[in-house]
């Protein structure tokens, strides 16, 4: 059985696209993390105000509760920028895996600037990199080049997830 996994990274890295592709390939439900932001958080981001740890606390609690509602596994898209955020999610879902879509600040800014309908403005990308604590030494993390095509990334993620499922590391 494949445990739940979080597709993480800064805004513009492709979390939603890759998460949907991975969820479809693994036949798991997709939880789109952005859908769980409060209206106050969305309004702050639309206004160009970066979220604080306090702003993100209730959002992370909601995401943790969503993970718990899917004991057979799910794919969650979530920035999960700080180690403390990832630990909070791991506490809600032991054995949780993370796929870090690694992207340069320039590429992230360019991608976000091209999105027409998202509430997150390109001006906030730098604040995400300021907050980012790369999960380099954390367990059960796959680092992927976010500039690869989403289908290529999804294939890498599925192979990795299935390899861990067969090896029995939950």
β-pairing verdict for 5-8 and 30-32: unpaired
Better pLDDT: 33 or 46: 33
CB atoms within 10 A of CB 15: 26
Mind listing the pLDDT tens digit for each residue in 11-41? 888 899 999 999 999 999 999 998 998 888 8
Domain residue ranges in the chain:
5-167
Indicate the pTM of the whole model.
0.88
Contacts of 135 (CB under 8 A, 6+ apart): 8, 80, 83, 86, 98, 100, 141, 143
Better pLDDT: 130 or 26: 26
User: Tokens in use for 108?
Assistant: 């992230």
DSSP letter for each residue of 107-165: HHHHHHHH-SS-S--GGGHHHHHHH----TTSSSEEEEETTS-HHHHHHHHHHHHHHHH
What's the pLDDT at 170?
42
Mind listing the pLDDT tens digit for each residue in 60-104? 999 999 999 999 999 999 999 999 999 999 999 999 999 999 998
Distance of alpha carbon 43 from its chain centroid, rounded? 21
Distance CA 17, CA 124 (A): 20
pLDDT band at 118 (very low <50, low <70, confident <90, very high): low
As assigned by CATH, the class of the 5-167 domain is: alpha beta
């Amino acid at each position: 059985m494949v445990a739940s996994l979080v597709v993480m990274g800064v805004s513009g890295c492709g979390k939603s696209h890759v998460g949907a592709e991975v969820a479809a390939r693994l036949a798991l439900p997709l939880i789109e993390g952005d859908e769980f932001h409060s209206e106050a958080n969305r309004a702050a981001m639309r206004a160009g105000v970066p979220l604080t740890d306090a702003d993100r606390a209730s959002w992370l609690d909601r995401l943790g509760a969503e993970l718990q509602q899917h004991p057979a596994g799910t794919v969650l898209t979530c920035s999960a920028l700080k180690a403390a955020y990832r630990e909070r999610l791991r506490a809600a879902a032991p054995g949780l895996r993370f796929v870090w879509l690694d992207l340069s600040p320039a590429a992230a800014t360019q991608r976000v600037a091209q999105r027409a309908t998202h509430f997150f403005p390109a001006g906030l990308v730098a604040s995400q990199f300021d907050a980012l604590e790369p999960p380099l030494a954390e367990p059960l993390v796959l680092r992927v080049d976010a500039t690869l095509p989403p289908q290529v990334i999804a294939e890498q993620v599925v192979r990795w997830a299935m390899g861990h499922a067969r090896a029995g590391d939950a």
